Amino acid sequence: MATDKVLLVDDEVDFVETLAERLRARGLEVDVATSGEEAIEKARTKTFEVVVLDFSMPGMDGIEVLKALRDLNTDIQVMLLTGRASIKTAMEAGRLGAIDVLEKPMDIGLLMEKIREARAQFVAARTQRSQEHVEEILRKYGW
């Protein structure tokens, strides 16, 4: 899984750095951001397959960042982390394209499983998009 590109976004620096270390130790390629603005800037210059995003941050909250990330890359898979999960939060996040809402603190094994599932969805979406592009070219040139 060394090619997995994961972005962790949380304003709690110690939490995000510790989680990044734990995920790197499991073979993931991990980058971190400590604000929504920083996450969006990184997503503009780098392709991430999976984003693990804190719901509650100063400045841009998780929902605003989710919207911006999905505008930049519709294939990106975003999971929200929250210390205060609610059905309303989960429903809004799902409606905007989040694949899951996880409660803090989460089990690292569960998070790894969710990241694997998210990466599979990213690859499937990219494969589908590539296939549609090839079919469009074939139709255009009548092959």
Q: What is the pTM of this model?
A: 0.82
What percent of the chain shows pLDDT beyond 70? 96
Interatomic CA distance for residues 114 and 119, integer angstroms? 9
Average pLDDT of the chain is: 88
**Position 85 confidence tier, pLDDT thresholds 50, 70, 90:** low
The CATH number of residue 83's host domain is 3.40.50.2300
CA atoms within 13 A on the CB side of 60: 20
Whether residue 126 is predicted with pLDDT greater than 60 in this model: the reply is: yes
Number of domains in the chain: 1
Nearest to 39 by CA among 6, 1, 84: 6
What are the structure tokens assigned to 82, written together? Answer: 């929250």
Is the torsion defined by CA of 107, 108, 113, 117 positive or negative?
Answer: positive
- pLDDT tens digits for 38-53? 999 999 999 899 999 9
Q: Tell me which residue range forms the domain holding 78.
A: 5-141
**Position 2 confidence tier, pLDDT thresholds 50, 70, 90:** very low
